[in-house]
Amino acid sequence: MANESTKTPCESKRVLLTGATGFVGSRLLGRLVAAGVNVRCLSRHPESVRVPSGSQVEVVAGDVLDEASLARAMQGVDVAYYLVHSMGSGGDFESLDRRAAGCFAAAARGTGVRRIIYLGGLAQEGPELSPHLRSRLEVGRILTESGSQVIEFRASVIIGLGSLSFELVRSLVERLPVMICPKWVRTQAQPIAIDDVLAYLVGGLDLPAGASHIFEIGGPDRVSYADVMRCYARRRGLRRFMLPVPVLTPKLSSLWLALVTPVLAGVGRSLIEGVRTPSLVRDPGAASAFDVRPMGLDDAIDSALAEEEARFSRSPLSEIIGPDPSETRVQLGNHILDCRSVRVDAPPGRAFGPIKAIGGPTGWYYGNWLWKLRGLIDLALGGHGYRPRGSAARYARRPHAGDRIDFWRVVLCDSPHRLRLFALMKLPGRAWLEFEIERCDGGSIIRQTAAFDPKGLAGLAYWYVLWPVHKKIFAGMLAAIARKAEAENTLPQGETKGLAHDR
């Protein structure tokens, strides 16, 4: 541990982080911990804050609308990050943001916080501002009333996995081969990658004390929202056609958005009203004050897609979905996940036995004729087809990464905990099937997750048209695996018995 004389400016500060469960805040927490910063997080739901393993992050319960809880959280704090907003909360979000900023400023003034770092939206004052951007600028003004030094970053469109603007773009491009483009898609912006935003936010810790500053931040490319859509389509290998229309009001646009991107329906109108305003950097001060060289749009989109792929590849799918053992469907970026679970009276080793033997001579435990039919269709389309390879002994041993099981490839086998398979069949997208085992109350929980990364509208149509069939097959397969695991658990070690798999 560094002593006081050897600590960097970052390490010598105690920092309060609000919004630690949000898109920006959750990532910033990891960056601050990596920089050795002493972090305290304020959250209404402390259990939801994902603290990096091995770190000494302090998490306290509180609310930015409760000045007393803010004052307790700010005791001994040098720098406070303000990364909250109320746009998705419904109702009068401008009033809520105004109240929250006022409480934060008052608590900072009362506890002697030296610096507030705030992330707002990039826009110029004027009568055409949307309520969302108007509120973002107002929050910055209220925070300066605290008497603390305020470092306000005004960011253009942020590109990153989970960013509302990025998810809006990708949802439209993935779902609509032909897009009706109102005037707002021609609005100019300077999209900035989330990694560059985080670099600025961390850099704000080491600025010299003094007057408050406003820094406008954006990427090097000045583009329209239509350009962002075209770029995303290019990076995903999709062909998209855009039909301009002279007028489409924000209300009509939000209704249209709700039809194709229901996950964004609650904030659709506020988003669209905001993107009608250009977000261009006019003051280059950030370039000289910080050692940050923002990446271009292509690299920013590639980085967002790579983050999604990395998170999906390295994390057990149950961690993404959560601990609920009931059937669950969720989405991670563009990936659609379906999970079902069952508890069995067998230890993990026995519960994993039927899973490691899946495919080949054993079959798939349910609807084998459907699996074989799918293989014939795949073969007719020029794919691998359903071609069992290897002996029964080979299928009885633990699979290894790279092994082929019928028209699947093993990408991970961590016996007796997890088996992940990647589909080799012809698909309008990519598919995985994962089994996870967790010890529970003298038995085990088997989690089975099907995941699909649809490519465009054809991929979405494939998933939802075949979903009733997949649901029946996956449910039957898991039930049969559970019965076999429990049946074999009653036998002496080393003995197994057969189970009728096909129905």
DSSP reduced 3-state for 119: strand
- Residue 154 in any domain: the answer is yes
- Residue 500 in any domain: the answer is no
Looking at residue 176, its pLDDT comes to 83
- Secondary structure (DSSP) of 206-228: GSPSSS-EEEEE--S--EEHHHH
Q: Look at residues 278, 310, 342 and tell me which one is the last residue of a structural domain.
A: 310
CA distance 68 to 66: 6
User: Domain residues for 326?
Assistant: 315-489
- CB contact set of 203 (below 8 Å; sequence gap of 6+): 290, 291, 292
CA distance 294 to 155: 12
CA distance 122 to 427: 41
CATH number at residue 437: 3.30.530.20
416 preceded by a cis bond (ω within 30 of 0): yes
Domain shared by 295 and 375, yes or no: no
CA distance 218 to 157: 8
Domain shared by 163 and 246, yes or no: yes
CA distance 433 to 447: 11
- Secondary structure (DSSP) of 138-206: HHHHHHHTTSSEEEEEEE-PEESTT-HHHHHHHHHHHH-SEEEE-GGGG-EE--EEHHHHHHHHHHGGG
Domain shared by 365 and 285, yes or no: no
Domain shared by 283 and 355, yes or no: no
The number of folded domains in the chain is: 2
CA distance 108 to 105: 5
Domain shared by 179 and 216, yes or no: yes
- Residue 413 in any domain: the answer is yes
Residue 237 CA neighbour count, 13 Å, CB half: 5
Q: Are 130 and 273 spatial neighbours (Cβ–Cβ below 8 Å)?
A: yes
CA distance 250 to 291: 38
Q: Per-residue confidence of the chain (503 residues) as pLDDT tens digits?
A: 444 444 445 556 799 999 999 999 999 999 999 999 999 999 999 988 988 888 889 999 999 999 999 999 999 999 999 999 865 555 577 889 999 999 999 999 999 999 999 999 998 777 677 777 888 999 999 999 889 999 999 999 999 988 888 888 888 888 888 887 777 788 899 999 999 999 999 999 999 999 999 999 999 999 998 899 999 999 988 888 888 877 656 666 666 666 666 555 555 556 666 677 889 999 999 999 999 999 999 999 999 999 888 877 776 766 666 555 445 666 666 788 888 889 999 999 899 999 988 988 888 999 999 998 988 898 888 887 776 655 555 555 668 888 888 889 898 888 888 999 999 999 998 899 999 998 988 899 999 999 898 888 888 889 989 989 999 999 999 999 999 998 887 655 555 554 433 33
